Amino acid sequence: MATKFLSSLPVDLDPQRLPRHVAVIMDGNGRWATQRGWPRVAGHRQGAKTLKALLRCCKDWGIESLTAYAFSTENWRRSPEEVNFLMLLFKRLLRQELAVMQREDVKITFIGDLSGLPKVLQQEIHYATQMTAHNRTIQFNVAVNYGSRAEIAQACRRVAEQVEQGKLSAASVSEDLIEQYLDTADTPAPDLLIRTSGELRLSNFLLWQLAYTELYFTDILWPDFDRAAFHQALLTYQSRDRRFGTVSTPLSNSAAQAVL
Residues β-bridged to residue 138: 106
**214 marked among binding-site residues:** yes
Among 7, 6, 59, 52, residue whose Cα is nearest residue 26: 52
The torsion defined by the Cα of 210, 68, 218 and 19, in degrees rounded to 10, comes to 60
Contact residue for ligand IPE among 21, 42, 66, 69 (CB under 6 A)? 69
Contact residue for ligand IPE among 22, 23, 25, 125 (CB under 6 A)? 25
Q: Is 75 labeled as catalytic in the residue annotation?
A: yes
**14 marked among binding-site residues:** no
Sheet with 214-217: list strands edge to edge.
Answer: 106-111, 138-146, 65-72, 21-25, 192-195, 214-217
The torsion defined by the Cα of 217, 3, 61 and 32, in degrees rounded to 10, comes to 20
> What does 69 bind: ligand IPE, Mg ion, none (CB cut-off 5 to 8 Å by kind)?
ligand IPE
Query: How far is it, in rounded angstroms, from Cα 197 to Cα 214?
Result: 17
Cβ at position 24, least distance to ligand IPE in Å: 8
Task: Work out whether 27 is an interface residue with Mg ion (CB under 5 A).
Answer: yes
Cβ at position 43, least distance to ligand IPE in Å: 6
Q: Is 27 labeled as catalytic in the residue annotation?
A: yes
Query: How far is it, in rounded angstroms, from Cα 47 to Cα 43?
Result: 6
Cβ at position 97, least distance to ligand IPE in Å: 17
Cβ at position 28, least distance to Mg ion in Å: 6
Residues 188-247 that bind ligand IPE (CB under 6 A): 197, 199, 201, 203
Residues that bind ligand IPE (CB under 6 A): 25-31, 69-72, 75, 86, 197, 199, 201, 203
Query: Could you give the residue numbers annotated as active site?
Result: 27, 75
